[in-house]
Structure 1
Amino acid sequence: MPIVLTRIDFRMIHGQVITQWVKRCDANEIIAVDTSLSKDVFMQEVFKMAAPKGVNIKIMDVDKAIKAQLDGKFEHRKVLLLFKTVQQLYEAVQKGLELKDVQVGGLGGGPDRKPVNNAITLNQEDADWLIEIENKGIEVYLQTTPDYPSMKLEDAVKKL
């Protein structure tokens, strides 16, 4: 299972992912998992144009991502697995996606969200899903960029 990084980032494929995380992880494929985006052909093309040379981008829904892993589609690639929301990651884990760890990179803002680390905000619902993911033996940590220190989920939840 050569997933080199699993990241939750509501902006999906953007500057930090392309210029920093792909390089840091030596990824040669980004698999963006988002149900809405998997149905939006125009936005898929926009994201694919953002890919650096030598990095393949695939966009799929949760079920297709799980099937791809089960079928060994990640085996010969260095995959950066990217989720738009905690909810979709939680759904994937519940349905059998196997992961070692998860990096929370950005979840957006909103009235019920509290800043917990640099530019990362959490609400109680996302925190509960992340705790359940961690209870399955998957390490969850928060980190915006490679240069910024990571934070354990339990430390972030204390700030809610």
Structure 2
Amino acid sequence: MIIQMRIDDRLLHGQVAYSWKSALSYEAIVIADDNAANDEVRKQALKLSNPDGVRLAIRPVQEAVKLVQHPKLKAMRVFVICSNPESAYQFIKEIDEKPVLNLGNMQKEDDKKALSSTVYVSKEDMHYLDKIIDLGYEIEARQVPDESAKKYKDLKNKMKN
């Protein structure tokens, strides 16, 4: 069972691994990211951030979809992490669950505008986030569980002003 999804361009790091572990009590992390899955050095670095006793799988998006549909993972509390909205959309449109999608960290780049203090989005990012909303998913922005969640729709509306 997918208990939450997160978009974080850093994927797995201490903040994600430990603060969200306490809040969600997940048993497995599935990183759905084509680039990370095909980069052995990055995979090894990500494994170093994995909490003890938590299963970790780093797969291309389509393989990650198949993995979370396996009965063994369906019986576990799974936290799914993608690096960007397009990957999250590609993943979400293939599953039958509706976990909350958390926007954690998306770094500032020239073509991106601030959605929140830690989330910068391009027009393409917003296109995919809007498509996720259209599929009936809730999207929130917050870095850690202790912060109050801000709804994507509210943040998007403030950007227009």
TM-score normalized by the length of structure 2: 0.90
* Counterpart for residue 71 of structure 1: 70
Which runs of no fewer than 5 residues in structure 1 stay unpaired? none
1:97: Cα distance to partner? 5.8
In 2, Cα distance between the equivalents of 1:53 and 1:93? 27
Q: Counterpart of 2:42 in structure 1: which amino acid? A: M
* Counterpart for residue 101 of structure 1: 100
Once the two structures are superposed, the pairs formed by residues 117-156 of structure 1 within 5 Å of their partners are: 117-156=116-155
Identity %: 24
In 1, Cα distance between the equivalents of 2:132 and 2:42? 29
* Counterpart for residue 15 of structure 1: 14
* Counterpart for residue 60 of structure 1: 59
Q: Counterpart of 2:97 in structure 1: which amino acid? A: E
* Counterpart for residue 36 of structure 2: 37
In 1, Cα distance between the equivalents of 2:118 and 2:40? 30
The question of whether the paired residues in 1 share the 8 Å contact of 2:4 and 2:79 is answered with yes
The question of whether the paired residues in 2 share the 8 Å contact of 1:22 and 1:80 is answered with no
Which runs of no fewer than 5 residues in structure 2 stay unpaired? none
CA 106–97 in structure 1, closer or farther in 2 if over 3 Å, else same: farther
The question of whether the paired residues in 2 share the 8 Å contact of 1:69 and 1:97 is answered with no
TM-score normalized by the length of structure 1: 0.91
The question of whether the paired residues in 1 share the 8 Å contact of 2:89 and 2:132 is answered with yes
1:96: Cα distance to partner? 4.1
1:78-105 alpha-carbon deviations (Å, 9 max, x no partner): 1110001111111222344633321111
CA 102–81 in structure 1, closer or farther in 2 if over 3 Å, else same: same
The question of whether the paired residues in 2 share the 8 Å contact of 1:120 and 1:144 is answered with no
Q: For the aligned residues, what is the CA RMSD?
A: 1.6
In 1, Cα distance between the equivalents of 2:34 and 2:26? 23
Size of the alignment, in residue pairs? 159
In 1, Cα distance between the equivalents of 2:108 and 2:72? 34
The question of whether the paired residues in 1 share the 8 Å contact of 2:104 and 2:142 is answered with yes
